[in-house]
Structure 1
Amino acid sequence: MSQSIAAHPDRLFPADPGVRKIARSLYSRVESLPILSPHGHVDAAVIEKNVPFPDPAALLVTPDHYVTRVMHAAGVSLDRLGMGGSPADSRQIWREFCAAWPLFEGTASGYWIRQEFEHVFGVREEPGQDTADRIFDAVSAKLAEPGFRPRELFKEFNIEVLATTDDPLDSLESHAALAADPAFASRVVPTFRPDAYLNIGHPQWQSNVERLLGSTRSGTPGYKGYIAALQERRHHFLDHGAVSADHGVRTPATVRLDEADAARLFERARAGTASAEDRDVFEAHMLYQMARMSVEDGLVMTIHPGSFRNHHAPTFEAFGADSGHDIPVAVNYTEAIRPLLQDFGTAKDFHLVLFTLDETVFSRELAPLAGFYPSVYIGAPWWFLDAPDAMLRFRAAVTETAGFSRTSGFIDDTRAFCSIPARHDTSRRIESAFLARLVAEHRISEDRAHEVIVDVVDSSPRRVFKL
């Protein structure tokens, strides 16, 4: 059998032999560094309880909208992939996936899955109709091994810090249990994610807010109680090791309302009479308030805007959210974020990490903003952009203006625990490739490049996320 392309030592490195040699040397400096994952969506309870992973289809196909959306575009109904509560025949779902494998050539998903097969599951056969059952059985056998559990893989993957994403009213019991467990040496930290409590267009906003108001120790009613309750919950997260608050907003618009105007909007929303304009203004005001709270309590603030959620209504109705049809939209950062930056852009120890799905703002807006405001850092490419060529475009677009030090370090943003090492390895190889080109073009010395690669991979996420 020929060598798997997933095992090739020069994968993702430049084709030019001389530049490739430099990239190899740079990669060797960071290949074995611990993984720092300051933003992701793995469930802490899975780690705490050391729950065995499910079957191959339930682990690698059904929950991964990167995978299911590609198959859906080719005509595979989502109910055939076990989504939306559909009856699931795992082996048949796996056969559907393997039959569709050619669709993934050239995609980031195809690259990651190949890496997982090779380096996590020890599977070197190419997926296809003829190999589907053999691969299913091989992966199933691996999943059944006693050592193939989340805690054991934490050690094998060399994960030092893993951040989860959590509801503001979560008890964080699993995080507390992990922190108190002397046998667990790594850190699993919660992330405050209040979107469903800030966006009055969210279908559960009213019920969420009533539960939030009921949780506050102050007993203060109305808008004041709402603000007080959010502050209390942020401190609950800080007490459980949180380092950041994440905000998945439609736009990065911010506005500062006086308290009376904010209270009126809040009460209209509770009564169900808020307009679409009210929704936009209130969300922008609350994003400003979240920045104010971050300045006070020290939580790093991350903003993930620019996604048209649930673009296809019939699919959303049948299969719910995160079913593959969240589509990027254009973003305006320079004007939208200005009210926030006027008051907090130079605040001491405030860290604001700005992400985007709109590549056009990398060089036009994000790099100049991060190149001036001490608080602003540029978030790594995420979602549709966390792919090899997009990562290279990102690095080329922002570095000439903002340098290397104003970026966040890699963010894997994943629910797929077994893909974490593949994603971080991808980033390390791409950063090595980019720096190697600068060295070959005599734009940076090789000695300095060796310092920069360590900073980008390890020091930057520690610095930006206060790890």
Structure 2
Amino acid sequence: MTDTWTLHPDRALPADPTTRPIAREIYAAVRDLPIVSMHGHVDVAAFADDEPFPDPAQLLVVPDHYLTRMLVSQGARLPELGVGPAGTPGLETDPREIFRRFCAGWKHFRGTPTRYWLEHELVEIFGVTVRPSAETADEVYDQVAAAIADPAFRPRALLDRFRIETIATTDPAWSPLDEHAKLAAELPGRVLPTFRPDPLLHPARATWRDDLDRLAAASGIATDTYAGFLDALRERRAAFVAAGGLATDHGHLAADTTPLPDDVAQALFDKARGADGAGLSTEEEAAFSAHMLFQMAAMSAQDGLVMQLHPGVLRDHDPAVAAAFGPDKGYDIPVAAEFARGLRPVLEAFGHAESFRLVAFTIDEDVYSRELAPLAGVYPALRLGAPWWFLDAPDAMRRFREAATETAGFSNMSGFVDDTRAFCSIPARHDLARRVDAGYLARLVAEHRLELDEAVDTAADLAYHLPKQAYARP
């Protein structure tokens, strides 16, 4: 370990001497391109309020479920990491103590993308000069704290420093969009809303009836009937379009989009709202949710909002943890996903429609070459989303390129999207993707399958041009 912590300029590039210099040249051509971050979950309030980040623990540790789940796997408890509502037994409130626990567990992140992102953030963004450990925790904390105290580290200033041209937040269907209206006036076209209706499309959720009331209040349309429910969703989508929104976001368990006859859908909606509280069976709930995905696609074909779908995650694998600590804390786990049959109804109806665009993501690698690449390689409305969540990692991104490119080509992909709540990890994630793509393209050049100028052009597409194209209103 050197006295001053630095990062190797060739990190994540190929190790072999033939492709590495080619990869360096490709990466250098795209390294400083602007970032288009169209599928993220940074809170819009961060940009609307433009307040300083609170402290290093709240910035880097507490909200990062990648980080906390690894430490939990090594015996930490979420409250010890500052995670949980006020009053949680054992909840640590001293940010310095939380940060010490993180630094003491630094070794557990070896070989993970979390390690790569954190290294980039700590060294390249915050100027940290010592590697985290139990012994250096306070020194690292002080260096990060000094950085975020500088007005140059306010969220809006970091948009410029990170070269973020556009960033999309993710907002509930009932959002009043007031903060986006403020940002549209102060940062035109820079921070855009994304319509996320998931709670409304799953009647089995405990909050479903309350969420229907929120939708009614926001839209001004009664949601006590199925027809009113659809009209309220249309009204809110129109509000998002008016606010500059370009996309919707759907995180269903399955990719099934089978529509139901109107009378069946209405009967299921009425049953779900029934006063007896019986609700829908598991099969009925799944059928209604699939039907509503089809309805969302039909509305996208009308209003032009790009439809993002990322199924295949069993949310809150530990329901007790989720109940105690809140959403996104119950250890979401990937499950197998099926797309060829699931997306068929939507693609039959809208797959060749110029007014429709669907970006499909997965964390089930098996379906890349078997289903998603062949689908994206033929239906003009479909784009294959970038490796997401557990697959947003160096080797997984390489496997994605190898599995999908030969069938789908590059032009039928979304380009890189970062899917993060951790604002300061955005440049790290995009940098990693650009390095991995440079390595993949360098191999094609070394094998005389691409010319170097084509590889550079493709790298620029993947980093910048394709995300702009994929998320442009059709």
* Structure-1 separation of matches of 2:78 and 2:220: 45
Q: Is residue 2:414 matched to residue 1:377?
A: no
The amino acid that maps onto 1:194 is P
Contact 2:350 2:356 in 1 (8 A): yes
Change (3 A) 1:162 1:6: farther
- Which residues in structure 2 correspond to 1:3-42 (within 5 Å)? 7-42=7-42
Q: Is residue 2:400 matched to residue 1:394?
A: yes
Matched with 2:317 is 311
Q: Is residue 2:55 matched to residue 1:71?
A: no
Contact 1:368 1:401 in 2 (8 A): yes
Contact 1:38 1:161 in 2 (8 A): yes
2:437 is aligned, of 431, 436, 440, to 431
Q: Deviations over 1:202-242 (max 9, x none)?
A: 21111111332344445575000000000000000000000
Change (3 A) 1:145 1:218: closer
Q: Deviations over 1:250-291 (max 9, x none)?
A: 100111112111110001111132111110000000000000
* Structure-2 separation of matches of 1:390 and 1:313: 28
Q: Is residue 2:348 matched to residue 1:342?
A: yes
* Structure-2 separation of matches of 1:9 and 1:3: 18
Q: Is residue 2:239 matched to residue 1:239?
A: no
Q: Is residue 2:199 matched to residue 1:193?
A: no
Matched with 1:159 is 164
Across the aligned residues of Structure 1 and Structure 2, the Cα RMSD in angstroms comes to 1.5
| Alignment length (residue pairs) | 465
Contact 2:3 2:130 in 1 (8 A): no
User: Match of 2:145, SS?
Assistant: helix
1:128 is aligned, of 129, 133, 142, to 133
The amino acid that maps onto 1:99 is A
* Structure-1 separation of matches of 2:401 and 2:337: 19
2:263 is aligned, of 260, 265, 287, to 260
* Structure-2 separation of matches of 1:128 and 1:54: 22
Contact 1:5 1:11 in 2 (8 A): no
Q: Deviations over 1:1-44 (max 9, x none)?
A: 73877521111111112211111111111111111000101111
Matched with 2:296 is 290
Which consecutive segments of 4 or more residues in structure 1 shift more than 6 A? Answer: none
* Structure-2 separation of matches of 1:45 and 1:70: 28
Matched with 1:361 is 367
* TM-score, with structure 2 as normaliser: 0.96
Unpaired runs of 5+ residues, structure 1, are none
Change (3 A) 1:71 1:179: same
Change (3 A) 1:350 1:6: farther
User: Match of 1:7, SS?
Assistant: coil
Contact 1:66 1:324 in 2 (8 A): no
2:151 is aligned, of 132, 146, 157, to 146
The amino acid that maps onto 1:228 is D
Unpaired runs of 5+ residues, structure 2, are 86-90
Contact 2:195 2:237 in 1 (8 A): yes
Q: Larger deviation: 211-220 or 96-105?
A: 211-220
Matched with 1:251 is 254
* Structure-1 separation of matches of 2:319 and 2:213: 28
Q: Structure 1 vs Structure 2: percent identity of aligned residues?
A: 51
CA shift, 1:48, in A, is 1.4
* Structure-1 separation of matches of 2:3 and 2:433: 23
1:95 is aligned, of 97, 100, 123, to 100
The amino acid that maps onto 1:40 is G
Matched with 2:88 is none
* Structure-2 separation of matches of 1:115 and 1:418: 9
User: Match of 1:36, SS?
Assistant: strand
The amino acid that maps onto 1:240 is A
* Structure-2 separation of matches of 1:380 and 1:5: 31
Contact 2:255 2:342 in 1 (8 A): yes
Matched with 1:269 is 272
Contact 1:206 1:270 in 2 (8 A): yes
* Structure-2 separation of matches of 1:4 and 1:225: 62
* Structure-2 separation of matches of 1:231 and 1:282: 18
* Structure-2 separation of matches of 1:79 and 1:256: 43
Change (3 A) 1:216 1:176: closer
Matched with 1:333 is 339
1:411 is aligned, of 417, 420, 430, to 417
User: Match of 2:25, SS?
Assistant: helix
Matched with 1:446 is 452
1:210 is aligned, of 210, 213, 220, to 213
Q: Deviations over 1:68-90 (max 9, x none)?
A: 00000000111111111224111
Contact 2:40 2:167 in 1 (8 A): yes
* TM-score, with structure 1 as normaliser: 0.97
The amino acid that maps onto 2:228 is G
Change (3 A) 1:375 1:132: same
Contact 2:312 2:335 in 1 (8 A): yes
Q: Is residue 2:97 matched to residue 1:108?
A: no
* Structure-2 separation of matches of 1:270 and 1:445: 60
* Structure-2 separation of matches of 1:158 and 1:328: 32
User: Match of 1:160, SS?
Assistant: strand
Contact 1:82 1:88 in 2 (8 A): yes
Contact 2:203 2:285 in 1 (8 A): yes
Q: Is residue 2:78 matched to residue 1:61?
A: no
Contact 2:176 2:218 in 1 (8 A): no
The amino acid that maps onto 2:271 is R
